[in-house]
Amino acid sequence: MTNLFESTASVKSELNRQKYIASDEIATIVYLSEKLGKPLLTEGPAGVGKTELAKAIAKATGRELIRLQCYEGLDESKALYEWEYSKQLLYTQLLRDKLNDTLGKADSLAGAADQLAKEEDVFFSERFLLKRPLLKAILSDQPTVLLIDEIDRADAEFEAFLLEVLSDFQISVPELGTLTAKHKPFVILTSNNTRELSEALKRRCLYLFIDYPTLQEELAVVRLKVPDLNPKLAQQAVEFVQRLRKADMRKSPSISETLDWANALVALNASNLDKTTLEDTISVLLKHEADLQKAKRQYINPPAPPQPKSKNNYDELGRFSGN
Amino acid sequence: MESRILQLIAALRASGVRVSLAESAESFSAVDIMGIQDREQFKLSLRATLIKDVKDIPTFEKLFPLFFGTGTPPMMGGNPSDDMTPEEAQMWAEAMRQFAENLRQRMERLMNGEPLTKSELEALGQMVGLNQADNLNYQNWMAQRMMRALAFPEVREALKALMEQLAQMGMSRERIEQIRQTIQQNLQGMQEQINQFAGQRLAENLSERPRNENIDSLMNRPFQALSDADKKILQREVKKLAAALRTRIALRQKRMKSGQLDPKTTIRANLKYQGVPMEIHHKDRIKKPKIVVICDISTSMRFCSELMLSFLFALQGQVRKTHAFAFIDHLESISEDFNSSNADEAITSVLVRMPSGHYNTDLGWSLQNFNDSYMDTLNSGTTLIIVGDGRNNYYDPRLDIFSLMTRRASRTIWLNPEPEHLWHGDSDMPKYAPLCNNVLKVGNLRELVNAVDELMTK
């Protein structure tokens, strides 16, 4: 396997060129994962750039990105391979004459069956194999980056299929035997941690936890991806998002939402984060009604500080309440 | 270096992190590649290979510096008395004379910035019983005791006196300040050294602690007879059991996929053969149960409920939807808590919200709450599970609501830690039981596992 990256520093700069800002941690673990030839399991809250990391790696290395999106009920035939029955059927129909030629020479039924058996391989060859993402990544002539997205959504049994692929980079097809990778793909798995993954799967991967970025990191991302936003506003916006994350929200805003928001601010030609701008655009950041109300209460219209008590002893109904 | 990494791994295991042999081998190859020059990269290569769960990262961050410390803390080497003028040296010697012999030695030592030797540290540790402890929470306390054994408080006092003495004798202010700073820094360095040593030794002890093997007896022990430490062990065990159970259930659900005949589709598909069943159709989608669980979290039932909830939420993938409710004197939905965090944290947060009082368990009123707000969670696909002892403090059991609930749900299962012969007094169990499809006794973890298994079979 050719070396993709020379050092952790080059991982960082290459990813940076793809507009992905990698922390030292990310760079080191990506480098290590490539060196060891081990799949990389990335976990973290939604929208911190796990999928983006895979895309950036693919672009940085000039490899094709093959993506397998997981969902409940995903099975072998959708992820590994499937025989293309209709194509097989079509071919037998079209090749009937040719078959007659081949089989016509046989003088007995047994002979014909033997003849046919010799040709069996034609119908169970890679020609009729419908390659699904995993097989595609393994059989590709070019080295690839394989992204198995949101593995936690797939059923637990599906993880078992993955084990063979991830540890040996091979797939067993009963009719063809074992297909081994020509080039080991660089495998990245992502998980939103909605359920615990099996020990066996974890054991085969390196683990990278990507958390929400720090203020500086996030600001750098915003500056890189939304260069039109003026720096002062960018700073204000990122500070606001960071503050929202600290508050107890049902769904904290992710980086992608920060970027959406930054784009919205540019589109609205905002020059300052004032109350109206915030009120108009905050729904880009927060997607739950309860969160929206809370943010509006706490940050946009903070409760007025208590008024100093009036000097006289009359309450608002005009009653005298003692002296 | 190798043995140090192995010790770290052993300590991780002792702190409850699962590290397999393959992973520890992996960590060595990672270290081979990344080298050990850069401490940060070295740490990351160990972490990426050994730790596979966010929850375990803090444990790793705590243990790593104990095994791969920053080295001996810096001390200001050199004796400041070297560049003292003869008068100053004279004053110094004069001022020192007032202290007892051993105190003087200690202070000279601090002046010179000599770190403690390994054997001295060993001896200190021996003195305070460091070798018998294997709990990292004791690190500060142990360090404190070691410092006291070194007479740190007295030394500090003596320093103050020394400074005053020197000032009286007319040493220049800057010089005194310089001496004070040197000693202060060395003192801090020594404290650091002791603290590090204590932490390391505790972590090493932790790594040598034999693994706990008597899980089996704990599984059979009744919930009431468990100590807090036992409960912690069992909590950990639940995760393992849940994983095993999950595989078993998933396998069963998968096998069931092709097993069951689907008469409706079969008849329809075979109409074209004049009803002769040529094509047999099977149900290809198994019905995952939808669960509504109502847990008694009063003091007597808390642990049982907690384990039950841990199980249910570990089995999320095998269940279509779980609605969880908790009650003591009234009922609250706790599904939200569980979606955001793990079971033990969620239980704690629920308990903060719903503190338990004395004899205030009221299932009847809680059923009324359920009837008012959540009845729509029950339908023909739902399995209703009640975890509780059915002791109602002589309140109205509200059998009318309960029977309505059992009729709406496809199945009702009651998990009760008490065996049938104890159902008297304020227990309303004899009244509830006939309405349930099944009443299972879950007095210990093993019975609970069997109950969960039973629950998922149909």
Distance, CA of A32 to CA of A96 (rounded, Å): 55
* B67-94 b/e (C-beta count within 10 Å ≥ 16 → b): bbbeeebebbeeebeeebeeebeebbee
The answer on A58 and A96 residing in a single domain is no
> H-helix or E-strand containing B286?
none
For residue B409, give the DSSP letter.
Answer: S
A50, with CB counted inside 10 A (0-12, 13-18, 19+), is buried
The answer on B256 and B362 residing in a single domain is yes
| CATH at A75 | 3.40.50.300
Nearest C-alpha neighbor of B417 from the set B451, B393, B394, B392? B451
Confidence of residue A318 (pLDDT cuts 50, 70, 90): very low
B247–A156 C-beta distance less than 8 A: yes
Q: Which residue of B lies nearest to A159 if distances are taken between CA atoms?
A: B247
Query: With a threshold of 0.90, does the pTM exceed it?
Result: no
Residue B339 lies in a domain: yes
Best of B24, B41, B239 to disrupt the A interface (most A CBs within 10 Å) is: B41
| Residue whose pair of structure tokens reads 């606001």 in the numeric block | A240
φ, ψ of residue A20 to 5 degrees: the values are: -120, 120
A199 interfacial to chain B (CB closer than 8 Å): yes
- The count of domains in chain B is 3
The answer on B244 and B184 residing in a single domain is no
Distance, CA of A305 to CA of A290 (rounded, Å): 24
- The count of domains in chain A is 3
A35 interfacial to chain B (CB closer than 8 Å): yes
Nearest chain A CA: its distance from B297 CA (Å): 25
The answer on B137 and B169 residing in a single domain is yes
The answer on B29 and B90 residing in a single domain is no
The answer on A228 and A194 residing in a single domain is no
Q: Given this model, what pLDDT does residue A310 score?
A: 46
Residue B96 lies in a domain: yes
Distance, CA of B102 to CA of B158 (rounded, Å): 12
First-to-last C-alpha distance (Å) of chain B: 54
Distance, CA of B64 to CA of B7 (rounded, Å): 10
Distance, CA of A39 to CA of A44 (rounded, Å): 16
Cβ(B237)–Cβ(B311) below 8 Å: no
Secondary structure of B328-393 as H, E, C letters = CCCEEECHHHHHHCCHHHHHHHHHHHCCCCCCCCCHHHHHHHHHHHCHHHCCCCEEEEEECCCECC
The answer on B174 and B124 residing in a single domain is yes
Distance, CA of B356 to CA of B111 (rounded, Å): 59
What ipTM did this prediction achieve? 0.77
Find the length of chain A.
Answer: 323
Task: Tell me the mean pLDDT in the region A37-62.
Answer: 90
Distance, CA of B256 to CA of B245 (rounded, Å): 16
Instruction: Give the largest CA-CA distance in chain A.
Output: 125
A171 interfacial to chain B (CB closer than 8 Å): no
Bridge-based pairing state of the strands A144-149 and A186-191: parallel
A147-163 pLDDT per residue, tens: 999 998 887 778 877 88
Residue A310 lies in a domain: no
Bridge-based pairing state of the strands B331-333 and A206-209: unpaired
User: Which domain range does residue A182 map to?
Assistant: 8-79+132-209
Question: Who contacts B321 (Cβ-Cβ below 8 Å, separation ≥6)?
Answer: B290, B291
A36 interfacial to chain B (CB closer than 8 Å): yes
Residue A322 has pLDDT above 50, yes or no: no
User: Which domain range does residue B331 map to?
Assistant: 228-457
Cβ(A153)–Cβ(A190) below 8 Å: no
Tell me which chain A residues have a C-beta less than 8 angstroms from the C-beta of B316: 194-195
Distance, CA of A131 to CA of A125 (rounded, Å): 12
How many cross-chain Cβ pairs, A to B, lie less than 8 Å apart? Answer: 72
Q: Give the CA radius of gyration of chain A.
A: 29
Q: Which amino acid is at B230?
A: D
Q: Which of A197-206, A301-310, B200-209, B440-449 has the lowest mean pLDDT?
A: A301-310
Distance, CA of A112 to CA of A131 (rounded, Å): 32
The answer on B136 and B14 residing in a single domain is no
What is the CB-side half-sphere exposure of residue B322 using CA atoms within 13 A? 25
A234-285 pLDDT per residue, tens: 888 899 899 888 887 778 888 888 999 999 988 888 888 888 888 888 888 8
Q: How far is CA A45 from CA A210, B319, B386, in A?
A: 8, 23, 33
Task: Tell me the torsion sign for CA atoms A227, A233, A234, A237.
Answer: negative
Residue A317 lies in a domain: no
Distance, CA of B120 to CA of B116 (rounded, Å): 6
A207: nearest CB among B40, B48, B246: B48
Q: How far is CA B123 from CA B72, B107, B150, in A?
A: 18, 20, 11
The answer on B90 and B49 residing in a single domain is no
Residue A305 lies in a domain: no
Nearest chain A CA: its distance from B35 CA (Å): 11
The answer on B180 and B86 residing in a single domain is yes
The answer on B168 and B36 residing in a single domain is no
pLDDT tens digits in sequence order for chain B, 458 residues long: 788 888 888 888 877 788 888 899 989 999 888 888 888 889 999 999 999 888 888 889 888 888 887 655 555 555 555 566 777 777 777 777 777 777 777 777 777 777 777 788 888 888 777 777 777 777 788 888 888 887 778 888 888 888 888 888 877 778 788 878 887 888 888 888 888 888 888 887 877 766 555 666 777 777 777 777 777 777 777 777 777 777 777 777 666 656 678 888 888 888 878 788 877 887 765 567 788 889 888 877 877 887 887 777 777 667 778 888 888 888 888 887 776 656 667 777 777 887 766 667 888 888 999 999 898 888 887 889 898 888 888 888 888 999 999 999 888 989 888 888 888 888 888 889 899 888 888 888 888 888 887 777 65
Q: Which segments within B265-330 are labelled E, that is strand?
A: 290-296, 321-327
Q: Given this model, what pLDDT does residue A64 score?
A: 92
Residue B366 lies in a domain: yes
Residue B437 lies in a domain: yes
A1-10 pLDDT per residue, tens: 456 688 888 8
> H-helix or E-strand containing B76?
none
Residue A255 lies in a domain: yes
Q: How far is CA B299 from CA B210, B387, B415, in A?
A: 33, 13, 16
Residue B221 lies in a domain: no
Nearest chain B CA: its distance from A247 CA (Å): 15
The answer on B129 and B20 residing in a single domain is no
B250–A207 C-beta distance less than 8 A: no
The answer on A250 and A169 residing in a single domain is no
B44–A29 C-beta distance less than 8 A: yes
3-class DSSP state for residue A181? Answer: coil
Q: Given this model, what pLDDT does residue B258 score?
A: 60
Confidence of residue A40 (pLDDT cuts 50, 70, 90): very high
Nearest chain B CA: its distance from A270 CA (Å): 35
Q: How many CB atoms lie within 10 A of CB B267?
A: 12
The answer on A252 and A187 residing in a single domain is no
Average pLDDT, chain A: 83
Nearest C-alpha neighbor of B302 from the set B192, B417, B211, B397? B417
Q: How far is CA B428 from CA A251, B128, B364, B395, B432, in A?
A: 42, 56, 10, 9, 6
Residue B341 lies in a domain: yes
The answer on B406 and B266 residing in a single domain is yes
